[in-house]
Amino acid sequence: MRGFLAVTIAVASILGGAAFLSAQEPPAYIIAKLTITDQDGYGAYRAGFGEVFQQYGGEIVAVSTAPTVLEGEWDATTTVIIRFESRTEALAWYNSDGYQELVRIRQLASSGDFILIDGR
């Protein structure tokens, strides 16, 4: 009976861990489509970006100044895909005081669209 109880506890422990893992948030991605109108001004944004970005565990997955447009219009000079461990982390970064200071600089030097999507 002890062996059965030990196996039952072990299985419950493993299943409980699996339930915990499946309850975690999926990764999240920010896709930014930018048209840079002032390279010098945008340089100030770039100069401060890394320090704030690293604090939130983001990863730049892709950057392109010439994506291949398969359908529709893509009027942008730069496209960026950023990955975060979760939507919570992505929003914490985006809404942080440090990044919001940079947003004001970026908006003076560019226009663009940003979206946040959940991964798998």
Domain ranges of the chain: 26-118
Compute the average pLDDT of residues 44-66: 96
**Residues 106 and 36 sit within 8 Å (Cβ to Cβ):** no
Number of separate helices (H) and strands (E) present in the chain: 4, 4
pTM value > 0.85:
no
Residues with Cβ < 8 Å from 119, sequence gap 6 or more?
A: 26, 27, 28, 29, 83
Write down the mean pLDDT value for the chain. 87
Q: What digits encode the pLDDT tens for the residues 87-108? A: 999 999 999 999 999 999 999 9
Residue 6: is its pLDDT beyond 60?
A: no
Pick the CATH number of 26-118 from 3.50.50.60, 3.30.70.100, 3.40.50.300, 3.30.70.120: 3.30.70.100
Compute the average pLDDT of residues 16-24: 54
Which pLDDT score is estimated for 21? 47
